[in-house]
Chain A
């Protein structure tokens, strides 16, 4: 597959955000159309301020938001056209680190990482525990394993949210505001973990980072850096 993630002519200004309850869809005020191709093994960062529409990209990539026009292909599939159950199953192929981490507050960090594996796979409990042990150690979370999110610091919460996103060892990882409030060193560690190591073609995984800005130390570590200004992309280097 050449491009694991493709946005084709999506008018970001009319992205529909829905809730399970009865709240009417919210519409953003940004203009489009927006197009971007994220090549395999690349780490692409799209930065932009709040009004740029950058915060809608992750939702579109995962099919959490429905584009009113244009197309979004994730791992070659137009996720918006899938039924609800198929969409949910498909999303397990994509790792997602949401802004603000989105950890379940009533679960320990370890249970948070374990949850997608226990809910969405038929792995044996022993295999799940083994996988969780590896991810927790990789993200240096072993000592905070049995703490709940409110009992830990922002750094551990972000590490746990990334560990959860990597639980299924996805091919594509989408990170929303991943480095907010973190030191450059921690941000670098998280980005490396998301890339999953290096191959001859680049990172083992394809990574899309959306953020208001990138820490200075990471500017050289991303393959492409783009700025989104009112729905239009400008290559930064």
Chain B
């Protein structure tokens, strides 16, 4: 019994140390913005633009595919049932509540974790194992400035932008389904959707973009830079970075829903 309690205690202490380390890392990364030298800002901006190309621009096709298929399937499978009971107006609510408010941000974040979060962890872990991070520090370059901040801001901007893209494509995909299957006109469809779309939904998308972007920028960077022993640690770091990012994104989504209901 004592052994079991000790094991639980050790596990809890490890978990708390991990959470504490992550919080410290996130805070230090954001705080390092104040010490970014003018010359370093120009270099970091170039790294940021590169990150945006990889995280946002190259993910556009994937987001359009996911969003288009999801909205088309959702609307095409529900509109005939709703039409039968004379409640086709409800597709507006379905579109806004289910897709724009919840699934859009969540699926966008999942896609970016899978695509860019994994790449960030693997890249930074490789930088660490090859001694590049140590060499940067030795040259007087803060790894937070050169490696972490561009990825952090790149993730926030990319996730926020791609969420908006997801929502726009979802609305178009929903219209195509409503038009082909139920013969709904564009003005009517848009009227139904826009009637259900509130300012709160737009603000919420912005908040989720910021929070999910921060998660995707911080956790994979933290896990990548935690590697020390060698290349065999890299896949483990990628797994930890991906799983922890996804878990926190789902928890945050649930907390936001809970907060709005409360």
Residues of A whose CB lies within 8 Å of any CB of B are: 19-23, 26, 62, 64, 84-85, 88-92, 94, 96, 98-105, 115-116, 118-122, 161, 164
Contacts and interface: CB of A to CB of B under 8 A. Distances in A.
A126 B212 CA distance: 41
A237 B88 CA distance: 94
Contacts of A89: 140
Nearest to B18: A22
Contact of A19 (B37, B42, B128, B139): B128
Contact of B132 (A19, A92, A102, A118): A102
Contact of A96 (B43, B138, B225): B138
B38 A122 contact: yes
Of A21, A92, A102, A116, which is in contact with the most chain B CB atoms at under 10 Å from its CB? Answer: A21
6 contacts: A22-B222, A62-B138, A91-B138, A91-B140, A105-B132, A119-B145
A161 B139 CA distance: 11
Contacts of A119: 37, 39-40, 43, 139-141, 145-146
Contacts of B227: 19, 21, 23
Contacts of A105: 126-127, 130, 132
A158 to B, nearest CB: 13
A17 to B, nearest CB: 8
B137 A64 contact: yes
A86 to B, nearest CB: 10
A92 B139 contact: yes
Q: Return the 10 tightest CB-CB contacts between A and B, nearest first.
A: A21-B226, A102-B135, A22-B21, A92-B140, A21-B225, A102-B131, A96-B138, A116-B139, A20-B225, A91-B140
A66 to B, nearest CB: 13
Most buried by A among B37, B126, B146, B227: B37
A26 B229 CA distance: 10
Given A91-B139, A119-B140, 20 more contacts: A19-B228, A20-B25, A20-B226, A21-B224, A21-B226, A21-B227, A22-B25, A26-B228, A91-B140, A98-B131, A98-B135, A100-B130, A102-B134, A103-B132, A105-B127, A118-B42, A119-B43, A119-B139, A120-B40, A120-B141
A118 B44 CA distance: 10
Interface string B218-232: 000011111110000
Contacts of A21: 21, 25, 222-227
Contacts of B144: 20
Nearest to B138: A96
Contacts of A84: 142
Interface of B: 17-18, 21-22, 25, 35, 37-40, 42-43, 126-128, 130-146, 148, 222-228
Contacts of A118: 39, 42-43
A142 B134 CA distance: 26
A115 B130 contact: no
Given A85-B35, A119-B146, A120-B140, A64 B134 contact: yes
A79 to B, nearest CB: 11
Given A105-B126, A119-B43, A100 B141 contact: no
A103 B18 contact: no
B92 to A, nearest CB: 46
Contacts of B21: 21-22
A22 B35 CA distance: 22
B222 A164 contact: no
Nearest to B228: A23
A120 B139 contact: yes
B243 to A, nearest CB: 15
A136 B237 CA distance: 37
Residue from the set B21, B126, B146 with the largest chain A CB neighbour count within 10 Å: B21
Contact of B131 (A20, A99, A115): A99
Given A22-B25, A92-B139, A115-B139, A120 B39 contact: yes
A85 B228 CA distance: 23
A62 B223 CA distance: 25
Contact of B140 (A98, A116, A161): A116
A125 B256 CA distance: 48
Contacts of A102: 130-132, 134-135, 138
A164 B139 contact: yes
B134 A98 contact: yes
Contacts of B142: 84-85, 88
A16 to B, nearest CB: 13
